A and B are shown apart, each in its own frame.
Chain A
Amino acid sequence: GDSVTQTEGQVTVSESKSLIINCTYSATSIAYPNLFWYVRYPGEGLQLLLKVITAGQKGSSRGFEATYNKETTSFHLQKASVQESDSAVYYCALSDNNNRIFFGDGTQLVVKP
């Protein structure tokens, strides 16, 4: 079946340093799934951060970027310089061609001042 893997349960980064959160996917029901990053800030509901629907394209939002890499089946989330306000839980997700959306286990980002 389709699935998403996030290998890091928690990532700790000092403020103003760069960040990468890893995401790989497996899609058997669809050749080119849509890929998403969702975020949950403390005390808030889960919300979309960015999405990419075309292989090879990059999505960006709030200084975060992710590139849809079909060859490595990856969709890593990156930011050049994190801020304390970026502390949150980040979820990678994909959608198949049956309206189902699958999530990874999430990565807690802790930004140290």
Chain B
Amino acid sequence: GGIITQTPKFLIGQEGQKLTLKCQQNFNHDTMYWYRQDSGKGLRLIYYSITENDLQKGDLSEGYDASREKKSSFSLTVTSAQKNEMAVFLCASSITGTTNERLFFGHGTKLSVL
């Protein structure tokens, strides 16, 4: 089986700071995703990528950049952290567009902004 590794597990930042979250997968999946989850809420799509060097905006892309330089990795940058922001960022990968479609998730990066 494969695994999705997100680093760091916890990220504490300052207001206005640029922060980068990383995600690696060894499933050899084409599609990767970044979701944001606020406490008690569902997952909201920030960015996704259907292949190396591809980027597609989700509903929540404003304030974020993403990069998919390799098939196995997908990074997310918070361009300017907002004061008191707290959320969990989840990375996922998938085989999509087939009957095998399903998401595999990492354990998340928990962000706190002071």
**Do the beta carbons of A48 and B103 come within 8 Å of each other?**
yes
Query: Count the A-B residue pairs with Cβ separation under 8 angstroms: how many?
Result: 53
Chain A: residues with Cβ within 8 Å of the partner, total of 24
Residue positions of B touching A, CB distance < 8 A: 31, 33, 35, 40-45, 48, 50, 56, 58-59, 90, 94, 96-97, 99, 101-103, 105-108
Minimum Cβ distance to chain B for residue A56 (Å): 16
**Nearest B residue to A50 by beta-carbon distance?**
B102
**Do the beta carbons of A45 and B42 come within 8 Å of each other?**
no
A79: Cβ under 8 A from any B Cβ: no
Interface string of A89-101 (1 = CB under 8 A from B): 0010001001111
Residues of B within 8 A of A11 (CB): none
Minimum Cβ distance to chain A for residue B93 (Å): 11
Minimum Cβ distance to chain A for residue B23 (Å): 13
**Do the beta carbons of B50 and A99 come within 8 Å of each other?**
yes
Q: Which of A4, A6, A91, A100 has the most CB of B within 10 A?
A: A100
